Structure 1
Amino acid sequence: MAADPKLEASQALRKLIPFITMPALQFKQLYSEIKVIEVSQGNFLFKNGDTTNAFFYLIEGAVSLEAHDFKIETITASTEAAKFALAHQFPRKISARAIDNVRYVSLSLNIFDKQVTGSEEKESTYMAESNDLETDEPDDWMSVLLKSPIFQRLPAMNLQQILISLEEVRYKKGEMIVSQGDSGDYYYIIRQGRCALSRKASARAKEIKLLELCAPDTFGEDALLSGETRSMTVTAMGDMVLSRIDKERFIKLIKDPVLTYIDYADICNQNNMSILDIRPADAYNEYHIRGSENIPFFSLRMRVKDFKKESNIVIVCDDGSLSAAAAFFLIKNKLDALILKGGMGSVPSEAESSNKSSFAIDESGVETGVFSRADESEGVPSEKLELTMAPVSEETFEESGEINAGLQQENQDLKQENKYLTSELEGLKKQYRMLFKQTERLKAVLDKLQESK
């Protein structure tokens, strides 16, 4: 029995971008749209200026991409470059000529607009379960990345644009990738190698290593999302290969479709929300939303494994900007997070509290030192909004040990620097007193000189 060309094409297509992340049901719906086209050696798949509104995916053979008879690149099926659509700009800016006999799949541009809805989408989440459609390299950095919670939330068209826009950069051991205090320009994806994240409490403090990252980890989003400067320095621990995308594309293609904002009025109409205030403790104690839990932003990394996955978390900060970075981090860790639009500035005064109170953590009535709904006010949800935390495991303590040690060292450095600055201040005060006395003496001498004239 002869093999079905269309079935073979669909199996090859499933390994390409963005189909590798598409829900199984949605991908099955594409089957009727697949057009398998064969082109003999020397003929063109398309020419410069072609306006055919279709994506072309090479599944067999090799093609030469050319502009004005000048060869730009050779694309061979099953290679990294062939995972993307050929010359995706419209109209075509280059021509594609078959180097040998080739087969490619043609799909109309609106193919990615078809969505799967309801429980079917939930059950098929972005990866095919069928063995015959899985990628041959499940540990490949790109395949793993596309299975991550952030990238699973992106529309297929966005994935296509992101992966085409990625810029490859390389670093040697010891080279600095980003520096604490710099402005954020790029979002980074590790393809090969490891890097260390470190932080200085101040300019004079010792640099403390907080954690290490490896493929396919990502970093650099905090500064892009919050608008603040880089909070850490990232240094290559060996030869590294990374991909990066600039801030403008990151905001448009990743941030905007991933993050969801909610108004305070909508929170009041929900019964299953937990409110997480990520401001510093002193700001939280001054005023906060009744029913919220306080975990400062820089403590989230240590506490994230304690959250229960079923929690619906609303992130609160001063104005909503830092909440974007926090929500992105929680989503990356498979948690559902929303952002309070406008932050505390959008909360009516009657819904705020300045009293730190507590809530029971178990049936024994033992109280934590954290605040709970002490009294009710109109306009605030009647149900207690508490952040449900899972039991803290030994593994969690072990994983946070290095970070805790780093923070303790950072605290010691701050104390040492404070001691140094205090000593320096005392020295300056002493110099000031000496100069003041000398000035007074000079004034007295001048007064005597003027009197003698």
Structure 2
Amino acid sequence: MVNISLFKNFVPLGSLLPTDRVELAKHARIGSYQVGQVLFSRGETAKTVVYLISGDVELFDGAQSRMVRADSVEARQPLAQGARRLATGTCIKPAQVLLVDREHLDLILTWSQTGGVEVVDLAHRREPEEDPQDWMTALLQNQAFHRIPPGNIAQLFACMKDASYRAGEIVIQQGDRGDAYFILTEGRVQVVKQSANGLEETELNVLGVGRCFGEEALLSGNPRNATVRALTEVKVMKIDGKDFERLLKAPVLTEMVLEDWNDSMQLIDVRLPEEFQAGHLPEALNLPLAHLRERAVELDAHRAVAVYCDTGARSASATYLLCERGFDARLIAGGVSGEWLKSH
């Protein structure tokens, strides 16, 4: 397994929690290359994120080339970052590189930054006695539902399935695949985050009637990032993941391409500050996903918001979160390439 001390030298690996670095190290390896060897080719799908540990690498984008040296500031960032390589990397001096599985890195970044997004905004936590008793009314007060066609809402109610849980029973388990969206119709549940070894847990929230949970895993495609446990006898309505995708996610998450952005819209970059500093779109405001809940008040509620990251996973979670808060938020589909960001 790769020594996790290497990670502190690279962005955004250095910002990860130690437990996340240990997990990521299981999906990373060191590669050695000789002069003239090609590390990756322009246009290919990037299955790994590549960091230069030692040596020199030339990046050629089809028109221009530039040299990246291991002792440079630029080497702290991934080489030819993005879902598709925008340059060919060729070894100029014998080099060692750190190769990290892209999907797993994206999973950990989204998971570690969303925290309580799997459930609700911790800043708006309500005491149990404040919870509305009419769960349907509470559900329809969710701003995200205001973007759904009336016919979809009717279909959502029609496809809901009821389920019951005893006090102490697990409703969703951290680390499991997301397959349903839940609406609490009776009782209370506790939301906890479990440590990497599974021996400790931290309470994130307590939810009552009318609250929803489980959407983050369905939006990002990542495993559940928290456990939800029944505190009392609990009843829920479940919406199957496929129905959530078709009836709720699709109409709520409006996608756009970068070329459609104009200066009448707010532009939000939800990556980490270190990633943002290495390159970002002009006019973009950095609101990292981990802090979006408390910093959403900085946005103009009367202007549309375009949201991006480097792959689209973190920005999908952020866009839905903003829609729930009543913003006209649009997702820049597929994210924005790191190499493209560096050129602007």
Same fold per TM (> 0.5)?
Answer: yes
Question: Contact between 1:290 and 1:353, CA under 8 Å: does it hold in 2?
Answer: no
Aligned to 2:305: 313
Please give the secondary structure, in 2, of the residue aligned with 1:279: coil
- Once residues 292 and 270 of structure 2 are traced to their aligned partners in structure 1, the CA distance between those partners, rounded to angstroms, is 8
Deviation of 1:333 (Å): 1.3
In structure 2, the CA distance between the partners of 1:213 and 1:225, relative to structure 1 (3 Å rule), is same
- In the superposition, the TM-score normalised over structure 2's length comes to 0.57
Deviation of 1:212 (Å): 2.1
Deviation of 1:290 (Å): 2.5
Flag structure 2 segments of 5+ consecutive residues without an equivalent: 1-131
Counterpart amino acid of 2:324? K
- Once residues 209 and 282 of structure 1 are traced to their aligned partners in structure 2, the CA distance between those partners, rounded to angstroms, is 29
Aligned to 1:325: 317
Question: Contact between 2:301 and 2:327, CA under 8 Å: does it hold in 1?
Answer: yes
- Once residues 300 and 190 of structure 2 are traced to their aligned partners in structure 1, the CA distance between those partners, rounded to angstroms, is 28
In structure 2, the CA distance between the partners of 1:140 and 1:320, relative to structure 1 (3 Å rule), is same
Bigger mean CA deviation after superposition, 284-293 or 257-266 = 284-293
Counterpart amino acid of 2:143? P
In structure 2, the CA distance between the partners of 1:320 and 1:163, relative to structure 1 (3 Å rule), is same
Aligned to 1:105: none
In structure 2, the CA distance between the partners of 1:198 and 1:274, relative to structure 1 (3 Å rule), is same
Alignment of 1:147-162 (within 5 A): 147-162=141-156
Question: Contact between 1:199 and 1:209, CA under 8 Å: does it hold in 2?
Answer: yes
Deviation of 1:139 (Å): 5.4
Describe the superposition over 1:295-328 as per-residue Cα deviations: whole angstroms up to 9, x where unpaired: 3223223333554422422111222233222111
In structure 2, the CA distance between the partners of 1:284 and 1:273, relative to structure 1 (3 Å rule), is same
Counterpart amino acid of 1:240? V
Counterpart amino acid of 2:268? L
- Which structure features the higher share of strand residues? 2
Describe the superposition over 1:12-50 as per-residue Cα deviations: whole angstroms up to 9, x where unpaired: xxxxxxxxxxxxxxxxxxxxxxxxxxxxxxxxxxxxxxx
Aligned residue pairs total 213
- In the superposition, the TM-score normalised over structure 1's length comes to 0.44
Task: Identify which of 180, 192, 195 aligns with 2:189.
Answer: 195
In structure 2, the CA distance between the partners of 1:311 and 1:195, relative to structure 1 (3 Å rule), is farther
Deviation of 1:201 (Å): 4.6
Deviation of 1:168 (Å): 0.5
In structure 2, the CA distance between the partners of 1:299 and 1:179, relative to structure 1 (3 Å rule), is farther
2:279 matches 1:287: yes
Question: Contact between 2:307 and 2:332, CA under 8 Å: does it hold in 1?
Answer: yes
Counterpart amino acid of 1:336? D
Aligned to 1:88: none
2:240 matches 1:259: no
Aligned to 1:274: 266
In structure 2, the CA distance between the partners of 1:294 and 1:205, relative to structure 1 (3 Å rule), is farther
Alignment of 1:21-36 (within 5 A): none
Deviation of 1:204 (Å): 5.3
- Once residues 168 and 300 of structure 2 are traced to their aligned partners in structure 1, the CA distance between those partners, rounded to angstroms, is 38
Aligned to 1:336: 328
Please give the secondary structure, in 1, of the residue aligned with 2:294: helix
Deviation of 1:279 (Å): 2.0
In structure 2, the CA distance between the partners of 1:194 and 1:139, relative to structure 1 (3 Å rule), is closer
In structure 2, the CA distance between the partners of 1:209 and 1:317, relative to structure 1 (3 Å rule), is same
- Once residues 299 and 230 of structure 2 are traced to their aligned partners in structure 1, the CA distance between those partners, rounded to angstroms, is 31
Task: Identify which of 201, 206, 212 aligns with 1:207.
Answer: 201
More relative contact order, 1 or 2 (CA 8 Å, 6+ apart): 2
2:121 matches 1:144: no
- Give identity over the alignment, percent: 32
Larger Rg: 1
In structure 2, the CA distance between the partners of 1:165 and 1:340, relative to structure 1 (3 Å rule), is same
- Once residues 305 and 155 of structure 2 are traced to their aligned partners in structure 1, the CA distance between those partners, rounded to angstroms, is 30
CA RMSD of aligned residues (A): 2.2
Question: Contact between 1:275 and 1:291, CA under 8 Å: does it hold in 2?
Answer: yes
Question: Contact between 1:199 and 1:231, CA under 8 Å: does it hold in 2?
Answer: yes
- Which structure features the higher share of helix residues? 1
Question: Contact between 1:199 and 1:207, CA under 8 Å: does it hold in 2?
Answer: yes
Task: Identify which of 162, 171, 186 aligns with 1:177.
Answer: 171
Please give the secondary structure, in 1, of the residue aligned with 2:336: helix
Deviation of 1:233 (Å): 1.1
In structure 2, the CA distance between the partners of 1:223 and 1:271, relative to structure 1 (3 Å rule), is same
In structure 2, the CA distance between the partners of 1:204 and 1:147, relative to structure 1 (3 Å rule), is closer
Describe the superposition over 1:58-93 as per-residue Cα deviations: whole angstroms up to 9, x where unpaired: xxxxxxxxxxxxxxxxxxxxxxxxxxxxxxxxxxxx
Deviation of 1:174 (Å): 1.7
In structure 2, the CA distance between the partners of 1:250 and 1:273, relative to structure 1 (3 Å rule), is same
Flag structure 1 segments of 5+ consecutive residues without an equivalent: 1-137, 355-376, 378-453
- Once residues 294 and 205 of structure 1 are traced to their aligned partners in structure 2, the CA distance between those partners, rounded to angstroms, is 35
Question: Contact between 2:138 and 2:211, CA under 8 Å: does it hold in 1?
Answer: no
Counterpart amino acid of 1:184? G
Describe the superposition over 1:84-140 as per-residue Cα deviations: whole angstroms up to 9, x where unpaired: xxxxxxxxxxxxxxxxxxxxxxxxxxxxxxxxxxxxxxxxxxxxxxxxxxxxxx952
Counterpart amino acid of 2:289? F
Aligned to 2:231: 237
Question: Contact between 1:263 and 1:341, CA under 8 Å: does it hold in 2?
Answer: yes
Task: Identify which of 287, 290, 301 aligns with 1:298.
Answer: 290
Question: Contact between 1:225 and 1:322, CA under 8 Å: does it hold in 2?
Answer: no
